[in-house]
Amino acid sequence: MCTWRSIGAPIIAQVIEQHRGESEKELRKALREAYPWGERAMWPYKVWCSEVNRQLLALRPVSEQIDGLPLFETQENREAQR
């Protein structure tokens, strides 16, 4: 069964590979231009954006992915959430 994600994921991976080493701004521009389904609206576009973010997050070092997340629940964390 084909899904929007299964169609878009290899396209996104290919664009990321072709533009490796460029700034994130240039990479995102190339990803916008590679969008394959015409109008950027509704479910296909949401899936595309989600997959772009998922693949770009996977490129970052783990320390950047979890930066800012509390390791343990503390009184300070609970007060900051209020």
What is the per-residue pLDDT across 5-59, written as a single tens digit (0 to 9) for each? 999 999 999 999 999 989 989 999 999 999 999 999 999 999 999 999 999 988 8
Transcribe the chain into DSSP letters: ---HHHHHHHHHHHHHHHTTTS-HHHHHHHHHHT--SSS--HHHHHHHHHHHHHHHHHHS-HHHHSTT--SS--HHHHHHH-
Q: Domain limits of the chain?
A: 4-61
Instruction: Tell me the two tokens of residue 79.
Output: 């007060």
Question: pTM for the full model?
Answer: 0.72
